[in-house]
Structure 1
C-alpha cells in the first residue's frame, strides 16, 4: 500500500469524528434557529449596553515590501534580486454605528419573545434526538 494512501486512511476516522456524532448533528440541525436568535439577542443587548453598534468595512491600501525577481544571467546561472515594490493589502476596519435605543429595545423584546417560543421546540428536538441516537 502506498504511503500516501495509508496516511489518508489513517486520517479518515479523525475526519469523520470532526463532523460529530449522529446525535450531535441531529441536535445541531434542529436547534440552529434557536442559536441564531440567541446570537442576535446577545448582539442587540450589547448594542444597547454600549450605546452603539459595530460595523466592519474593508479598507484597501498599498504597502511597501521587498519583491523577489529571478532572472538568468548571460552565463546561464540563475540570479535572485530583491527590489522595493508595492503590494495591495486589505484590512478590516471596525467602526461605530449610532443606534436608535427605542428601535433596539423593540428589537430586543421581539427577539426575547421569539427565543422563548423556540426554546420549547429546541428542548423537544434535543430530547427526540437523544432518544433517536442514544450514545
Structure 2
C-alpha cells in the first residue's frame, strides 16, 4: 500500500511531462542522482558535518473507549507508540568528503558528455 502511495504521484507527474521533457528525462539516466549527491556533499562540506536521521519512539498518552462484557463502555488510559525520524548531525571525514565530491564532479562531466547527443536528439525530435 505504501509503495503505491509513493508511485502514484510519480505516475501523475510523469503524465504531465511533454514528450520532449519525457525524452530528456529518459536520456538523462543517472545524472539527476549524481547532481543530488553533489548538492548533498557540497552542503556537508559547507557545514562541516552531514545530516543523518535517527528513529525515535514517542509515546502519546490518550484515553480509549473499551467495551466491557456486559456491553457497557468505559474510558481507559492507553498509550500509543509513534515512530518519528529526527534529523541529526553526523561527523564526517572532510578529506574523504572532498575526494568523494571530486569523484562525483568527474562522473557528472562524463555523464553530461555521454548524454549530450541523446538530449540533442530529443530537442530535434520534439521542438517546442
> TM-score band (shorter)?
0.7 to 0.9
Shift of 1:44: 0.6
Q: Distance in 2 between matches of 1:102 and 1:29?
A: 34
Q: Distance in 2 between matches of 1:38 and 1:49?
A: 16
Distance 1:121 1:68, change over 3 A: farther
Q: Distance in 2 between matches of 1:37 and 1:28?
A: 14
Q: Distance in 1 between matches of 2:66 and 2:25?
A: 51
Shift of 1:94: 1.5
Q: Structure 1, residues 35-74: CA drift from partner, whole Å, max 9, x if none?
A: 1111101111111111100111221232212324467976
Equivalent pairs, count: 117
Q: Distance in 2 between matches of 1:64 and 1:92?
A: 19
55-64 or 107-116: bigger deviation: 55-64
Specify every segment of 5 or more residues in structure 1 that has no aligned partner in the other structure, as ranges: 1-14
Matched, 1:38 2:35: yes
Q: Distance in 1 between matches of 2:113 and 2:51?
A: 31
Q: Secondary structure at the match of 1:89?
A: strand
Query: Structure 2 length as normaliser, TM-score?
Result: 0.75
Q: Secondary structure at the match of 2:37?
A: helix
2:123 aligned to 114, 130, 133, which one? 130
Structure 1 partner of 2:89: 96
2:20 aligned to 8, 18, 23, which one? 23
Distance 1:69 1:26, change over 3 A: farther
Specify every segment of 5 or more residues in structure 2 that has no aligned partner in the other structure, as ranges: 1-10
Q: Structure 1, residues 82-121: CA drift from partner, whole Å, max 9, x if none?
A: 4321111011011111111111111111111111111223
Matched, 1:64 2:61: yes
Distance 1:24 1:80, change over 3 A: farther
Structure 1 partner of 2:110: 117
Q: Secondary structure at the match of 2:59?
A: strand
